[in-house]
Amino acid sequence: MATMVALRKSTGAISSGARSLLSFQRGFGTSDHGYTLPDLPYEYGALEPVISGEIMQLHHSKHHQAYVTGFNQAMEKLKEAHSKRDPQTIVQLQSLIKFNGGGHVNHSIFWQNLAPVKEGGGAPPEG
């Protein structure tokens, strides 16, 4: 099945995506430098012909970057609202934080769960 070609084999160990998530959660709300777009662990075209390099580049550099930018903006507004002791704005920002923060986390995990065939991708899941 073509959709399975790019899936990384399960090793049973904690995935780097899960480690990214844990790292992300530990830093949530405490970072002064904001969140950044993670590098992909492979080249944009590495998953071809299953996923085109053009789609990977668009999805990573535009789509995922938009979540990171939106999340940083929302977190900055949250920080400001906290400093102004503005509970109404704090509550209003929650959906923006969940949407953009969730998009950032989901995409960070997604990239780590794909792999080129030469790096262990391409086999059906085990177990």
Binding site for Fe ion (CB under 5 A): 63
CB of 61 to Fe ion, least distance (A): 11
Residues 48, 6 contacting (CB under 8 angstroms): no
Q: Which is nearer to Fe ion, 63 or 84 (CB)?
A: 63
Q: Which is nearer to Fe ion, 65 or 89 (CB)?
A: 65
Residues 16, 100 contacting (CB under 8 angstroms): no
Cα–Cα distances in Å, from 92 out to 16, 27, 89, 95? 33, 22, 5, 7
CB of 63 to Fe ion, least distance (A): 4
Taking CB atoms, the residue at the shortest distance from Fe ion is: 63
Q: Which is nearer to Fe ion, 37 or 90 (CB)?
A: 37
In total, the chain counts a number of residues equal to: 127
